[in-house]
Structure 1
Amino acid sequence: MSTIKVAILGFGTVGEGVYRTISTHQEKLTAVLGKKVEVAAILLKDKTKERGIDGSVLVTDDIEDIIGLEQLDVVVEAIVGREPANTYLRRLLQKGCHVVTANKEMFAYHGTELEKLAAEQNVSIGFEATVAGGIPVIQTIQQLLNINRIKKIEGILNGTSNYILSEMRTNGLSFDAALKAAQAKGYAEADPTNDIEGYDAFYKLLIVSELAFGEKPEWESVHRQGIANMSIEEIKIAEELGLRFKLIASVQVNDGKVIGSVRPTLVSKTHPFFNIEGVENAVSIEGDIVGRISLQGPGAGMFPTASAIIEDLVHVVHGIKAKKVAERSPLSFVNNEVEKSKQTWLIINPGKGPLKTNLFTNIENKVIIEADEQTILNVQKQNKEARFYQIVGEYEVTEKNDENFPHKEPKSLTFETV
């Protein structure tokens, strides 16, 4: 029986998970592929450290040893960061290897050019594991693209941030205490910047955008706001209103232009993300025929991510390539409606004196209003200390004269752009 030779670049949590999964699922892989799958080589930083790797596997800290292998069919890349991963994959694609990657930052920056190079070499790239660990987001989007036109994708794409927000709400922890708890459990890195500032979710948003809409939003146009400045007071206010904070990445097409955002958002009890807690991820995809579908599950971890990579390995060996909407129709045809509808917003004003705006008067502390996003952006420019959070899901705004929390009936206000 012929053998599929695999190399694994990086042997951290993900790389080790892939190695263990291939070792324990040989019978299933052989049945699916009709060939035995064999890990031929592993690239790691310290090849002298004992890691329980079979003696028949080439263990090296030099990429040239792997590039020089006589037979190499698939390369699994599980390195962190843009380089040297991008350079390594370019060389391995030129060698004629299929590639499967879990590196969301590298793929957000270089995915388009790597896919072009793969097409030139008549090989495939799998990238399911770059977005939401064990949740089959990429496969679902590809399946929908057969018939549906995708209108909008939104998701909780970072388990670390979701865990921190859950801990702040359920245990009354400060942001710093919740972050330390996440680090103690291994959910957050020593340097958690990518997670808590929204960069991780931002990279994932770019990847799903290009797949679904054929292009990414302009990077500088994406509103990216992390959770590092979230306070326990804001969490409690949301609780009093029956709402929960989630860091949500969202991307859609408006008037032929892709727009995206990553920001803390309030979800109501009717929203599918309301009960997504801890390190879980969730994605909602809206198609013009299917309507809205939701996926949830583990967004990270050794075996959930390894599961996504092994599924991709099967796909690339079978020659299944990602479909993009741009291959079927012009971007402007996907959704040519400019979204100018009003949304519900919570505004918290910790500053001295009322908010500076002609939308309402004498709002000293907090208010719920309905307004379009451009109006909110303009109000933000005038009130740098205030915090603005969109509320998603069904949420009724009622007139209530409460000195602790004024609610404003939308029809009683004028919502014109200021």
Structure 2
Amino acid sequence: MGKIKVALLGFGTVGSGVYEIIQSYQERLDILLGKRVEVSGVLIHDEKKERNINPEILVTSDINQILAIPDLDVVIEAIVGVEPGYTYLSKAIDKGCHIITANKELFAHKGRELKQRASENNVRVSYEASVAGGIPIIGTLRQLLKVNSVVQIEAILNGTSNFILSDIRNTQSSFQDALQSAQDKGYAEADPSNDIDGHDAFYKIVILSELLFGQQPDWESITRKGIRDIALNHISLAESFGFRIKHVASLTYKNKNLKVEVGPKVVSEDHPLYSVEGVDNAIALTGNLVGQLKLQGPGAGKFPTASAIIEDFVTVINGEQQSDPLKGGTLTSISEDSTQTWFVIGNSDDPFEGVTLFEESISDQGKHVTARLIKTNRSELERLTLKNSDLVVYPVASSSSLPIRKAVVTA
């Protein structure tokens, strides 16, 4: 039986998970691939740190030693950040290796270049694990795109943010306490800004945009907001309306215009993201023919992400991967000024050009805090919030239903 030689770049949570799966499921991989999978090298940062790696395997901090492995077939990258991962994978492609990555920041910035380089060198690039951990969203979209056009995606793409919001609601805790809980459980890093400020979800929706349209939207035109400012009373007020606050990455394509947003939204009980709790990710996508589909599962973690990498590995070796479309330039991402529904928190009697659909107030530390659903355009809402800096605004997710248990009030 022949061999498939693999090198791992990075041996943290994901890299070690890939290694363990290969060692534990060797017989299964033998059957699927008809060859023995051999981890021939592991690139690490600190050579003094002890690791549970077979002593016969090359373990080094020198990428050139990894790339010098004779007949190396596949390089699997699980490093954080754009560099040095991009340089390492570029060299691996030039050597004739297929590459697999779980690095969403790298692929958002440099995925186009890697795919183009791979095409020129007749090797394959796979990146399923870069978007939603164990959820097979890349493969699902590739299958759908054979017939369907995807017109909308609404997704929870960051498990850390979703855990924090769930924990605030379930334990009636503050944001800081919920963040500390996420860090204690290993869901959040010591510096959690990449997750809670929306960067992680931003990179993932950009990757999906390029997969769907062959080009990225202009990054500067995408609204990105995190969850740092979400307070317990916001979540309590949302619940009084029958809503939950979720961190949503959304993409809508209509009349050749693309709208991409990343930030907190309120969703109703009948919205597909309402019940997504804890560290789960979920993607609700709408195709022009198939209608709405929902994929949900663990979006991060050692074995869910490693599992997605192994699935990519099998696909790459079997030569099943399709080529993604690559168009020049960037898509125009628009910020529409059409009328929509907003969830507004704060006490204000200032008049505005719109309609109040529903109003509720709660007592928070002895003070009454009011929330209302209003229907107006973005420009009018910005005028209102500029005059009333204490107001907090959340858009209502597009497919959410509105409360009907109280009479509609006209402003």
User: What TM-score comes out, normalization by structure 1 length?
Assistant: 0.89
Measured in 2, the distance between the counterparts of 1:355 and 1:227 equals 27
Contact kept? 2:158, 2:200, Cα under 8 Å: yes
1:346 aligns with 2:352: no
Measured in 2, the distance between the counterparts of 1:283 and 1:289 equals 17
Measured in 2, the distance between the counterparts of 1:242 and 1:365 equals 15
Indicate how the Cα distance of structure 1 residues 322 and 155 shifts in structure 2: closer, same or farther if over 3 A, else same.
farther
**Unaligned 5+ runs, structure 1:** 401-406, 414-418
Measured in 2, the distance between the counterparts of 1:91 and 1:325 equals 23
Cα deviation, residue 184, structure 1: 0.2
Partner of 2:364: none
Measured in 1, the distance between the counterparts of 2:3 and 2:181 equals 44
Partner of 1:416: none
Structure 1 residues 332-379: Cα deviation after superposition (integer angstroms, max 9, x where no partner): 9xxxx99776432211125xx534633369x99432122344554554
Partner of 1:368: 373
Q: What SS does structure 2 have at the residue aligned with 1:46?
A: coil
Letter in 2 for 1:345: W
Contact kept? 1:134, 1:305, Cα under 8 Å: yes
Contact kept? 1:85, 1:106, Cα under 8 Å: yes
Partner of 2:396: 391
Indicate how the Cα distance of structure 1 residues 41 and 408 shifts in structure 2: closer, same or farther if over 3 A, else same.
same
Indicate how the Cα distance of structure 1 residues 100 and 193 shifts in structure 2: closer, same or farther if over 3 A, else same.
same
Letter in 2 for 1:112: R
Measured in 1, the distance between the counterparts of 2:280 and 2:120 equals 37
Measured in 1, the distance between the counterparts of 2:59 and 2:351 equals 63
Measured in 1, the distance between the counterparts of 2:194 and 2:156 equals 15
Partner of 2:175: 175
Cα deviation, residue 202, structure 1: 0.2
Partner of 2:252: 252
Indicate how the Cα distance of structure 1 residues 62 and 348 shifts in structure 2: closer, same or farther if over 3 A, else same.
same
Contact kept? 1:157, 1:299, Cα under 8 Å: yes
Measured in 2, the distance between the counterparts of 1:213 and 1:355 equals 42
Indicate how the Cα distance of structure 1 residues 73 and 230 shifts in structure 2: closer, same or farther if over 3 A, else same.
same
Contact kept? 2:241, 2:403, Cα under 8 Å: no
1:36 aligns with 2:36: yes
- Higher strand residue share: 2
1:70 aligns with 2:70: yes
- Could you tell which deviates more after superposition, 226-235 or 366-375? 366-375
Cα deviation, residue 383, structure 1: 4.1
Contact kept? 2:353, 2:376, Cα under 8 Å: no
Cα deviation, residue 258, structure 1: 2.5
Indicate how the Cα distance of structure 1 residues 207 and 124 shifts in structure 2: closer, same or farther if over 3 A, else same.
same
Partner of 2:207: 207
Cα deviation, residue 11, structure 1: 0.4
Partner of 1:293: 293
Letter in 2 for 1:68: A
Q: What SS does structure 1 have at the residue aligned with 2:310?
A: helix
Measured in 2, the distance between the counterparts of 1:383 and 1:250 equals 27
Indicate how the Cα distance of structure 1 residues 9 and 2 shifts in structure 2: closer, same or farther if over 3 A, else same.
same
Contact kept? 2:343, 2:371, Cα under 8 Å: yes
Cα deviation, residue 395, structure 1: 2.3
**Unaligned 5+ runs, structure 2:** 360-368
1:10 aligns with 2:10: yes
Cα deviation, residue 399, structure 1: 8.5
Letter in 1 for 2:401: Y
Partner of 1:135: 135
Cα deviation, residue 321, structure 1: 3.1
Q: What SS does structure 2 have at the residue aligned with 1:92?
A: helix
Letter in 2 for 1:88: Y
- Could you tell which deviates more after superposition, 28-37 or 290-299? 28-37
Letter in 2 for 1:166: S
1:159 aligns with 2:194: no
- Could you tell which deviates more after superposition, 248-257 or 26-35? 248-257
Measured in 2, the distance between the counterparts of 1:213 and 1:375 equals 32
Contact kept? 1:145, 1:323, Cα under 8 Å: no
Q: What SS does structure 2 have at the residue aligned with 1:206?
A: helix
1:122 aligns with 2:122: yes
Structure 1 residues 151-175: Cα deviation after superposition (integer angstroms, max 9, x where no partner): 1112100000000000100100100
Indicate how the Cα distance of structure 1 residues 3 and 239 shifts in structure 2: closer, same or farther if over 3 A, else same.
same
Cα deviation, residue 272, structure 1: 1.1
Contact kept? 1:77, 1:102, Cα under 8 Å: yes
User: What TM-score comes out, normalization by structure 2 length?
Assistant: 0.90
Structure 1 residues 30-73: Cα deviation after superposition (integer angstroms, max 9, x where no partner): 11111111100000012232211011210001111011112110
Partner of 1:404: none
Indicate how the Cα distance of structure 1 residues 270 and 97 shifts in structure 2: closer, same or farther if over 3 A, else same.
same
Letter in 2 for 1:367: R
Partner of 2:282: 282
Contact kept? 1:354, 1:365, Cα under 8 Å: no
Aligned length: 396
Contact kept? 2:354, 2:374, Cα under 8 Å: no
Partner of 2:313: 313
Measured in 2, the distance between the counterparts of 1:347 and 1:323 equals 44
Identity %: 47
Measured in 1, the distance between the counterparts of 2:342 and 2:211 equals 30
Letter in 2 for 1:31: I
Cα deviation, residue 251, structure 1: 1.1
Contact kept? 2:197, 2:227, Cα under 8 Å: yes
Indicate how the Cα distance of structure 1 residues 293 and 325 shifts in structure 2: closer, same or farther if over 3 A, else same.
farther
Indicate how the Cα distance of structure 1 residues 355 and 69 shifts in structure 2: closer, same or farther if over 3 A, else same.
farther
1:359 aligns with 2:354: yes
Indicate how the Cα distance of structure 1 residues 147 and 124 shifts in structure 2: closer, same or farther if over 3 A, else same.
same
Letter in 1 for 2:352: T
Measured in 2, the distance between the counterparts of 1:93 and 1:326 equals 18
Contact kept? 1:368, 1:397, Cα under 8 Å: no
Measured in 1, the distance between the counterparts of 2:120 and 2:339 equals 46
Measured in 1, the distance between the counterparts of 2:163 and 2:45 equals 30
Letter in 2 for 1:167: D
